[in-house]
């Protein structure tokens, strides 16, 4: 049974259908675990049976079905596959009936359907990949923009793993030397002189701080989120902007007063700070200048994280321009002090009287948290927090050495730093955390 960091790998046979539901040109069945390869070869017929790492064209003969099923099949030996276990992959005709036959056949041999992310979880537990690369695969699957894709590809290529592994190795080496010195303390043998200890701690601290800064600069989650007020001209956007940010932009009843956009920081409940953007009104116009402003506003809106759609109760519902449908949004009725009926389905507020403003801020905060969870990389957020812990512990160790508090204190701080490093790489992590991470994969990954 394969293990990693004391976490046992359940060594049973799992399978997954890696194709869309319904009829399709091809269906992919993936198996991992004991007898995955031997089951495949025993059911296979053709001129050249599957060899490890090679594809073969032929037929599969399922025990419960008399007709041969055309297949393109491959097998992998344990230790040489993605999961580190014996693996097989079948490419079949994409008929739901054939897929069901294949699943039932594997079940008859003791196999079961894989849970989301179980293939990658097994790859991690067998040591085939580390946790940053496992989470990079999530990033590749979830990427919705070129920047997301570049970040995930960089992480998958080892952009995070390599420097962190070097830092961890240097930390282990220093801790080993320190503990060796502590073992010989009674014999008055100095394994690690103070000047060398301070130098090595300073180097570790410098490398840790640099890694933390690089991670922050690469992480899109470190960018302050942008929330834009959008709507028709004279929908109350600028009044709302001024009230929320305590600014004093020009406000009038003449449509189109805001020709450019304004940006100001806004602190939401819970301590989240966003950039609030007041945009020019969107609507039909024959004004060439207004038309150019409209084009610029639309270009800006494609870059924001949340749209707050401002509408007046007595106006037709505002419709977003084509292409903006996928941007997260929050709809609000402005100028609530002018509303005579309370039948609106959206929250209302008044910048003039303050009515509904606290509720609006709370709703914005909830929406921002929701959006930031989708936008941010789980690994980037978690790794940045853990790296900050590593740096803090290294700084404490350096301070303890400088004050000559005793090498036992220095060693203790280094052990705490090493624990945090282990959580980043996945060498020290809990089953609960792993479950949350790998459950984000689809079945068959």
The CATH number assigned to the domain holding 322 equals 3.40.50.300
For 342-374, how does the pLDDT look when each residue is reduced to its tens digit (9 = 90+)?
Answer: 566 788 898 889 888 988 988 888 888 777 655
The per-residue pLDDT for 115 is 81
The per-residue pLDDT for 3 is 46
- Nearest to 142, CA basis, from 384, 330, 367, 379: 379
pLDDT at 318 over 90: no
> How far, in Å, are 9, 35, 425, 442 from residue 127 at the CA level?
11, 20, 11, 21
The per-residue pLDDT for 315 is 80
53-57, 286-290, 430-434: range with highest mean pLDDT: 53-57
Question: Strands 226-231 and 273-278: what pairing?
Answer: parallel
The last residue of one of the domains, among 102, 129, 156, is 129
Q: Percentage of the chain surpassing pLDDT 70?
A: 68
Q: Which two tokens stand for residue 443?
A: 């079945």
pTM of the model: 0.43
pLDDT at 303 over 50: yes
Q: Are residues 371 and 270 in the same domain?
A: yes
Q: How far is CA 94 from the centre of its chain?
A: 31
For 176-224, how does the pLDDT look when each residue is reduced to its tens digit (9 = 90+)?
Answer: 888 777 765 555 555 678 889 999 999 898 888 887 776 665 555 446 7
Q: Are 312 and 333 in contact (CB under 8 A)?
A: yes
Q: Are residues 9 and 107 in the same domain?
A: yes
Q: Are residues 212 and 257 in the same domain?
A: no
Average pLDDT of the residues of the chain: 76
Q: Which domain holds residue 407?
A: 132-219+378-425
For residue 366, being part of any structural domain is answered with: yes
Q: Which two tokens stand for residue 290?
A: 């207004």
The last residue of one of the domains, among 86, 108, 129, is 129
More confident residue, 418 or 143: 418
Q: Which two tokens stand for residue 54?
A: 């090679």
Q: Give the total number of structural domains in the chain.
A: 3
Given CA atoms 379, 385, 386, 390 in this order, what sign does their dihedral have?
A: positive
The per-residue pLDDT for 398 is 92
Q: Are residues 109 and 69 in the same domain?
A: yes
Q: Which two tokens stand for residue 17?
A: 């259908």
CATH of the domain at 148: 1.20.120.430
CATH of the domain at 59: 3.30.1360.120
Round to the nearest angstrom and report the end-to-end CA distance of the chain: 21
Q: Are residues 12 and 100 in the same domain?
A: yes
For residue 403, being part of any structural domain is answered with: yes
Q: Which two tokens stand for residue 13?
A: 């046979």
Q: Rounded distance, CA 209 to CA 392, Å?
A: 9
pLDDT at 444 over 80: no
Q: Which long-range contacts (CB under 8 A, 24 or more apart) does 286-295 make?
A: 287/256, 289/259, 290/256, 290/259, 293/259, 293/260
For residue 439, being part of any structural domain is answered with: no
Cα within 13 Å of Cα(212), Cβ side: 17
Tell me phi and psi for residue 444, to 5 degrees: 95, -5
Predicted confidence band of residue 111 (pLDDT cuts 50, 70, 90): very high
H or E stretch covering 56: strand 55-60
Q: Which two tokens stand for residue 63?
A: 């025990």
Least confident of 32-36, 88-92, 121-125, 205-209: 121-125
Predicted confidence band of residue 109 (pLDDT cuts 50, 70, 90): very high
Least confident of 139-143, 280-284, 338-342: 139-143
Q: Are 59 and 69 in contact (CB under 8 A)?
A: yes
Q: Which two tokens stand for residue 415?
A: 């052990």
Q: Are residues 370 and 419 in the same domain?
A: no
pLDDT at 65 over 70: yes
Other Cβ atoms less than 10 A from the Cβ of 390: the count is 29
* H-state helical runs in 338-406: 357-375, 378-402
More confident residue, 109 or 301: 109
Q: Are 17 and 29 in contact (CB under 8 A)?
A: yes
Q: Are residues 359 and 269 in the same domain?
A: yes
Q: Are residues 106 and 157 in the same domain?
A: no
For residue 78, being part of any structural domain is answered with: yes
Q: Are residues 62 and 193 in the same domain?
A: no
Q: Which two tokens stand for residue 336?
A: 């609530």
For residue 165, being part of any structural domain is answered with: yes
Tell me phi and psi for residue 406, to 5 degrees: 115, 140
């Amino acid at each position: 049974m394969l293990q990693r960091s004391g976490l046992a790998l359940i060594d049973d046979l799992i399978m997954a259908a890696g194709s869309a539901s319904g009829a399709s040109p091809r269906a992919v069945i993936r198996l991992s675990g004991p007898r995955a390869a031997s089951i495949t070869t025993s059911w296979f017929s053709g001129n050249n049976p599957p060899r490890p790492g090679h594809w073969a064209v032929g037929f599969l003969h399922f025990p419960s079905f008399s007709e041969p099923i055309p297949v393109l099949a491959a097998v992998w030996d344990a230790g040489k596959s993605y999961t580190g276990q014996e693996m097989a992959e079948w490419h079949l005709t994409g008929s739901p009936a054939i897929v069901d036959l294949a699943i039932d056949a594997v079940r008859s041999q003791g196999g079961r359907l894989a849970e989301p992310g179980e293939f990658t979880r097994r790859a991690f537990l067998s040591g085939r990949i580390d946790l940053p690369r496992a989470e990079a695969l999530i990033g590749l699957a979830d990427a919705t923009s070129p920047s997301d894709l570049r970040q995930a590809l960089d992480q998958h290529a080892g952009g995070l793993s390599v420097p962190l592994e070097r830092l961890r190795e240097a930390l282990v080496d220093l801790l080993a030397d320190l503990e060796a010195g502590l073992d010989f303390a009674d014999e008055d043998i100095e394994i690690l002189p103070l000047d060398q200890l301070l130098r090595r701690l300073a180097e570790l601290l410098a490398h840790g701080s640099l890694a933390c800064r690089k991670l922050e600069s690469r992480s899109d989650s470190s960018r302050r989120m942008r929330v834009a007020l959008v709507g028709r001209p004279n929908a109350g956007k600028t009044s709302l902007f001024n009230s929320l940010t305590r600014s004093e932009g020009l406000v009038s009843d003449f449509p189109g007063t805001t020709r450019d956009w304004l940006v100001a920081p806004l602190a939401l409940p819970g301590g989240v700070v966003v950039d609030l953007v007041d945009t020019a009104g969107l609507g039909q116009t024959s004004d060439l200048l207004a038309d150019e402003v409209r084009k610029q506003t639309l270009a800006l809106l494609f870059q924001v994280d949340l749209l707050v759609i401002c509408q007046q109760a007595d106006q037709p519902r505002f419709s977003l321009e084509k292409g903006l449908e996928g941007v997260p949004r929050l709809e609000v009725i402005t100028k609530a002090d002018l509303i005579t009926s309370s039948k609106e389905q959206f929250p209302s507020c008044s910048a003039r009287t303050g009515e509904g403003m606290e509720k609006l801020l709370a709703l914005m905060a909830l929406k921002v948290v929701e959006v930031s969870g989708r936008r941010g990389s789980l690994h980037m957020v978690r790794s940045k927090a853990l790296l900050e812990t590593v740096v803090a512990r290294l700084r404490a160790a350096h301070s303890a050495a400088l004050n000559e508090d005793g090498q036992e204190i220095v060693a203790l701080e280094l052990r705490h730093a090493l624990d945090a490093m282990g959580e980043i790489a996945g060498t020290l992590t809990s089953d609960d955390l792993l479950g949350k991470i790998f459950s984000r994969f689809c079945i068959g990954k």
